[in-house]
Each structure stands twice: as structure tokens, then as C-alpha cells.
Amino acid sequence: MENREIARMFSDIADILEIKEDNVFKIRAYRKAALNLDGLTRDLAELSHKELLEIPGVGADLAAKIEEYLQTGAMALHDKLKEEIPAGVFTLLAVPDLGPKTAKAIYDGLQVTSLEELERAANEHRLIGIRGIQQKTEENILRGIASVKRGRERQPLGHMLPAALDLVAALKSRAPLERIEIAGSIRRRVDCVKDIDIVATSPDPERVMDAFVNLPQVQTITMRGPTRASVAIREGVQVDLRVVEAESFGAALAYLTGSKPHNVRLREMAVKRGMKINEYGIFRDEDNERLGGANEEDVYRLLGLPFVPPELREDRGEIEAALAGALPQLVTLADIRGDLHVHSKWSDGAHSIAALAEAARQRGLRYLAVTDHSQGLAVARGLTAERLREQALEIEAWNREHKDFRVLHGTEMDIQNDGSLDFPDEVLKKLDIVVASIHSGFAHDRERMTARIVAAMRNPWVSIIAHPTGRLIGEREAYQVDMEQVLQVAGETGTALEINCYPLRLDLNDRYARRAKELGVTVAINTDTHASLQFDTLSYGVSVAQRGWLEKSDVLNALELPELLKRLAAKRKRAGNP
DNA sequence: GCCGTTTTCGGCCCGACTGTTTTCAGTCG
């Protein structure tokens, strides 16, 4: 997947052009294209010239640069610009509040080309005197360097959403609030987020600001004005709070929810219709008359659009779909009928099958599949074929006793290094469902990894591929795999792909989920529960599905039990097995 | 550099806060 690499190159070009004080709109064009490439569901290498031009923000010139890179492995403009400006200069841009102008001035004045040199220069007070820098700015730069060193850029949604909810609760208990919402990428349910945005209304904004910057979670106050404040909480996570008038709440919420490219599109549409959108509302140009803004719906209504759910706001086609009245009816948590990937005490889970079934039923589910690990995964106490037979007896007995909930018998079977499976077909055919996945040999090359997964999908008894890319957010990159091929074969063979709900996995991610839908591949939203409390992570997987535009009909475990069983049987039949 | 329900040329989203200014530039979201 060269998308990310090319996006990064465009972003580098934008940075350098900014330092060189080139045309701001040209810079913006490179940034916009970089963002859009990052959000693409397809590999650039697979797209025709015509398809490249259809990418928003990519015209003849940038399409040529993409093709140049795909064909030669290099981009002449990128290389040339990097020669002009030492690489270290734009590493300075990583420092908060230090932008291109300051980076250039510091480089011109002191030839500083790395963070270490910058830190030394600041400690020796050599920055003072450079255009626009006095003591305060120098101190801020030192603080900024410290925060860069602390690192931890983005954190998983599974950590940040609870932290945000915690802040909201704390704020509510300490200041008078009317409305308060978490906005930003958390509200869009992006799987990995950088900061926390909160928007609120209050009869006493001043007190809210006071309470906010004095919250026990707060470590440093970055900025504090009458309507806006910014702080850092533990682990250096930035939290922004905006307090607005009630008549502006919806506009502010929309603005702070983003995404930025989505907002830019809305504002452009407003301009064309003789209106202006900002965080205070939506206004008529001619007389500055307020047309709306108290509620988020106003913004969309006044542009002639249906409400666009936050999960879709990425400028990945949602505005066009809204204009055409073709927004998807997104799958919801309430649509989920069961969980098809669950571990019990039989392998590495914490709870009995009975306890798991009860916990699932309490959450409104109607079935679950017990899919303990297979024998090859010894560290997880994987089951042999014989233990699997014993387990079947326990499940049969439980089902005989309970008529309002169904436990399916399955396995999470290892796909071995050579692409073979951990159980023979004779074992698999006795199970209700077979989940296959990779737990070892992550370092194999792309061809081999792809071949392993494809081979598993071609087995008629394999129902679902679990956590198809193997990533662990912040801990382990996805293994090298040709996901386009995996998705294609999933479609051909009628194999479902999983969105794993574990907050560090969320695998498939939103983009692959969207591509799955495009290819007609069914997706299963599974918790991979190892302890009954983990059923609560279902909402994270549903969010990924929503960001992937999935509807109820795209989701395997949104089916009622009889339809699910039919669907599972369909692949076996297609392969000529009863 | 991109783009077209006023346009193939002339536009291109909008505002808060800080630090350094004595009216505003830089940065960020």
C-alpha cells in the first residue's frame, strides 16, 4: 500500500513550500490531496489514470506525480525540495506553536536543523532576538520540545473515549452547564485520536473555564481565553474546551466535530448559496442575518442536506451521497443479534460457557458462538479435537436447557505458517461455525501472508477470518498483506471478514470495512471476548462499521439465528458440502 | 495546484488566542 507513503510525500512538499513561503493555495492543494489519499479505500497502484483524477483534490499535475512515484519509486519535486531545505528543519514543525515561519527564521539565523540543536539553542537563550522571539516564546518552545519528547502522539479510542467521558462528568459536577458534548475525532469515533474536544453552553462561562483548568486531571494549561481553553492531561493528551452561547451550540458542535475537510466542504457550499458558516452559526451574506446554529441539524438543513452522522464526516463521499439522498442507513448496536467470536474457560477465557451466555443475553443478544482456540495455539491452551468433542457435549446440554438463547459451537482455528489449517475438515464439519485467524509468523512477506489467508478462505468450512490484518494499535503494525486480494477472495468464496471490537484491534479498520461493502463481502462484528465484561466493546466495532458505511444487511451477526444458520450453510453448499 | 448551478480564469473556509507588536503576524483547530 503506497497510499500512505505518497500522502506523506505530498504533506512534506506542503511543509517545505510553506517554509519557502510559496503560494498558500498551492500548499493547501498538496495538503488536501494528502488527506484524501490517506482516506482512500483503494490502493493507488490499482487505479487507472482516470480513477486517479476522480480523487478529490487530485488534478492532472498531482496524478502525474502519483504515477511517477508508482513507476519509478521516487518523486522528483519531493527530492528537489528536500535538498533545498535540510530535513531537520521540518522536523522542527513537530514542536507545538512552532510553525513554518518560525522554523525558517530559526534555521536562517542559527542553522539549527534538529530538535536537539533547537533545545540547546533555547537553553542558551540564543533564540531571543530572532524575529518575533522573546523570552516567553523561547520558554514555550522548550515546553513544546519536552512534549514532543514525551511522544505518544495518538491514542486508541478505547482509552480516549472513557477519559473524555470522565472529564465531562468532572466538569458537570463542578460548574453550571446547560449542554455539553464531546466533539472532535472521538465523536466521529476515529479508531485512534490525538486530542479531546469538548463543547458546552453555560449561564456562567467564566466559572466553567475556571473549573476546567482546575480539574484534577489537568497537568498544564496551554491556553485560556474567555470562550476557549486548552490544557494537557496525563500522558500529554491535549483537551480543548469551547463554551458558546446557546444559539451557537449546534454550529460549534459541528465545527468542532469536523472533520476539517468535511467542514471546508460545508463552508464552500454555504458560500455558493450566499451564506456563511462559522462556529457561531449560519448567516445570510447580504445582511448577516442569523439563519440557525442552535442545533447541529440547522447547518445541514440550511444547506439542503439531510443530517450526516458524525461517523461519516470525512469528506469521503458523504456530502455527495447526502445531496443525492443516498446516505446509508447505518447499522446500529441495537441491530446486533449475536457475537460470533467468544472465548471460554476451555481455552484462555475467564468465564464458563454458561456465564458467557448469560452475560450476552443480558445485553440483549440472542446467540453467541463459543470459539475457543485450536490446539496449535498452546499458549492459549488451545483445544485438541478430542477436547472440542467434549466441549460440544457441554454446549448441547446447555442448549437443551435454554430455549431463548442459542450457543453455537465453533473454533478460532489457527492458520499455520505454511497456510495449512489446525484442524482437518472432518473436525470442522461437526462445528456450527469456524473462525480462522493468524497468531504466528507475522513477519512473513506479503505474498506468503496473503496466500495463508486466501488458502484458509478457500476451505469451505471456514466461515469468518478474524482480525484480518493483525494490528494492535500503538503496539504492533498490521502484517504485510494484500488486503485487496483478501477482500476479493472473501467475496468469491462467501467468507465473512471480522471487525474485531477489541479497542486495540478494531480490525478490519473503517476503510477496509467500506471496501468490503463495495465488494459485497459480509462483515461480522465480533468482540473476541475473553471475559464477559468485554461484550461491552461491541459498540466500538459498530462504530468502525458505521465509519465503513455498513448497513444492517452487510453484517453477518445482525441476522436472526435462522437466517444466520442459512448463511453459514450457504458457503458449505456452494463448495459442494452438505 | 484544483476546480466550475455565476467561472477554463480567478477564485480558493473561518475565527480564537498568544506574544510581540503599538496594529498584527503566527499558529492552531
H or E element, residue A338: strand A338-342
pTM of the model: 0.85
pLDDT at residue A110, rounded to an integer: 83
DSSP H helical ranges for A173-259: 184-187, 205-213, 249-257
Q: Is the CB of A29 under 7 A from strand B?
A: yes
pLDDT at residue A578, rounded to an integer: 57
Out of A251-255, A270-274, A350-354, which region has the weakest mean confidence (pLDDT)? Answer: A270-274
Residue A337 pLDDT > 90:
yes
pLDDT at residue A89, rounded to an integer: 79
Q: Which nucleotide is nearest to A58 (CA to C1')?
A: B2
Stated in angstroms, how far is A79 CA from B24 C1'?
35
Residue A311 pLDDT > 70:
yes
Please report where in the chains the cell 443478544 appears, as a residue: A365
- pLDDT tens by residue, A478-498: 888 999 999 999 999 999 999
Chain A residues 57-86 with Cβ under 7 Å of strand B are 57-63, 77
Q: Which nucleotide is nearest to A98 (CA to C1')?
A: B27
- pLDDT tens by residue, A369-378: 999 999 887 7
Kind of pairing, strands A367-373 and A406-414? Answer: parallel
Neighbour count for residue A127 (Cβ, 10 Å):
23
DSSP class of residue A335 equals G
**A489-520 burial: b if 16+ Cβ within 10 Å, else e:** bbbebbbbbbbbbbbbbbbbbbbbbbbbbeee
Please report where in the chains the cell 439563519 appears, as a residue: A291
Pick the most confident of A28-42, A127-141, A529-543. A529-543
Neighbour count for residue A379 (Cβ, 10 Å):
9
A413 near A406, Cβ under 8 Å? no
Residue A35 pLDDT > 90:
no
Of A433 and A6, the structure prediction assigns the larger pLDDT to A433
Task: Write the secondary structure of A361-399 as one string of H (helix), E (strand) and C (coil).
Answer: HHCCCCEEEEEEEECCCHHHCCECHHHHHHHHHHHHHHH
Residue A26 pLDDT > 60:
yes
Instruction: Quote the cell numbers at residue A424.
Output: 482437518
What domains are there in chain A, each with its CATH number? 3-153 (1.10.150.110), 156-243 (3.30.460.10), 261-323 (3.30.210.10), 333-574 (3.20.20.140)
Q: If you count them, how many residues does chain A have?
A: 578
- pLDDT tens by residue, A208-246: 999 999 999 898 888 898 889 999 887 778 899 999 999
Q: Is the CB of A136 under 7 A from strand B?
A: yes
Chain A residues 218-237 with Cβ under 7 Å of strand B are 223-228
pLDDT band at A125 (very low <50, low <70, confident <90, very high): confident
Stated in angstroms, how far is A100 CA from B19 C1'?
17
pLDDT at residue A2, rounded to an integer: 79
CA dist A313 → A37, A153, A307 (Å): 16, 22, 11
Amino acid at residue number A526:
N
Proportion of chain A above pLDDT 70, given as a percent: 98
Please report where in the chains the cell 491514542 appears, as a residue: A155
Kind of pairing, strands A281-284 and A464-465? Answer: unpaired
Give the residue from A16, A17, A13 showing the smallest Cα distance to A33: A13
Of A287 and A241, the structure prediction assigns the larger pLDDT to A241
Of A445 and A512, the structure prediction assigns the larger pLDDT to A512
Q: What is the mean pLDDT of chain A?
A: 90
Query: What is chain A's Cα-based Rg?
Result: 26
| CA dist., res. A28 & res. A62, Å (int) | 13
pLDDT at residue A152, rounded to an integer: 58
Proportion of chain A above pLDDT 90, given as a percent: 54
Neighbour count for residue A54 (Cβ, 10 Å):
10
Q: Which nucleotide is nearest to A139 (CA to C1')?
A: B19
Nucleotides of B under 7 A from a protein CB: 1-3, 5-7, 11-21, 25-29
User: Closest residue by Cα to the C1' atom of nucleotide B16?
Assistant: A228
| CA dist., res. A39 & res. A266, Å (int) | 18
Stated in angstroms, how far is A100 CA from B26 C1'?
9
Instruction: Quote the cell numbers at residue A456.
Output: 484458509
Mean pLDDT of the region A282-296: 88
Stated in angstroms, how far is A129 CA from B23 C1'?
21
User: Closest residue by Cα to the C1' atom of nucleotide B27?
Assistant: A97
Q: Is the CB of A279 under 7 A from strand B?
A: yes
| CA dist., res. A519 & res. A404, Å (int) | 35
CA dist A64 → A29, A49, A207, A372 (Å): 15, 9, 55, 50
Mean pLDDT of the region A534-552: 95
Residue A60 pLDDT > 60:
yes
Give the residue from A117, A172, A164, A125 showing the smallest Cα distance to A145: A117
CA geometry: angle A362, A367, A371, nearest 5 deg: 110
Q: Which nucleotide is nearest to A263 (CA to C1')?
A: B13
| CA dist., res. A133 & res. A130, Å (int) | 6
Helix (H, G, I), strand (E, B) or coil at A221: strand
- pLDDT tens by residue, A67-102: 999 999 999 999 888 888 877 777 788 887 888 888
- Estimate the crossing angle of helix A483-493 against helix A510-518, to 10 degrees: 40
CA dist A255 → A259, A262, A286, A534 (Å): 8, 9, 23, 33
Amino acid at residue number A317:
G
Amino acid at residue number A324:
A
Q: Is the CB of A368 under 7 A from strand B?
A: no
